[in-house]
């Protein structure tokens, strides 16, 4: 599975900003590479019920599965757990003058969103991975 290099903390996939700009459109670059946030309730996957695997839009690594997606009504897709323990990296984020936990793709270190705990959602983990739709690519399950 995808993870960062444990000896260096560097992503497996490393590209220059120019290379990322060639791969991503300007909105994707802003969110994935500059930790931007898409506006709430407009994302492609906010309300989708399609079964499948959610991959990182930047590198294609598997991040989440539809079986862990739930309706939080927060304006962004919400998941209660990543597809595997090494699919994402969590790190402290003090960017808004408060402590939050940022979620990054373990393979390329692209920004995905934030994770929140203890909000009382009826999920097995009591976690809400609040993820930007623009950071994801859904690969539907074959029927």
pLDDT tens string 31-42? 999 999 999 999
pTM for this one?
0.89
Say if 6 falls within a structural domain: no
pLDDT tens-digit series, residues 52-75: 999 999 999 999 999 999 999 999
**88 in helix, strand or coil?**
strand
Q: Is 45 part of any domain?
A: yes
Domain containing residue 71: CATH number: 2.170.150.20
Q: How confident is the model at residue 143 (pLDDT cuts 50, 70, 90)?
A: low
**Residue range(s) defining the domain that contains residue 126:** 17-140
Q: What is the tally of structural domains in the chain?
A: 1
DSSP, residue by residue, 38-93: PPTT-STTSS----EEEEETTT--EEEEGGGEE---SSS-EESS-SSTTSEEEEEE
Catalytic option among 59, 105, 108, 130: 130
Question: Going by C-beta distance under 8 Å and a sequence separation of 6 or more, which residues neighbour residue 15?
Answer: 23, 108
Q: Is 108 a catalytic residue?
A: no
């Amino acid at each position: 599975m995808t993870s960062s290099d444990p000896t260096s903390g560097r992503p497996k996939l490393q590209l220059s900003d120019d290379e990322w700009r060639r791969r991503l459109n300007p909105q994707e670059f802003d969110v994935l590479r500059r930790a931007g946030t898409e506006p709430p309730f407009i994302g492609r996957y906010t309300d989708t019920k399609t079964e499948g695997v959610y991959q990182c839009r930047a590198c294609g690594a598997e991040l989440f599965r539809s079986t862990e997606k739930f309706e939080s009504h927060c304006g962004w897709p919400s998941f209660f757990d990543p597809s595997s323990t090494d699919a994402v990296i969590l790190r402290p984020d003090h960017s808004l003058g408060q402590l939050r936990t940022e979620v990054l793709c373990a393979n390329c270190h692209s920004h995905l969103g934030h994770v929140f705990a203890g909000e009382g959602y009826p999920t097995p983990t009591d976690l809400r991975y609040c993820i930007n739709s623009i950071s994801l690519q859904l690969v539907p399950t074959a029927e």
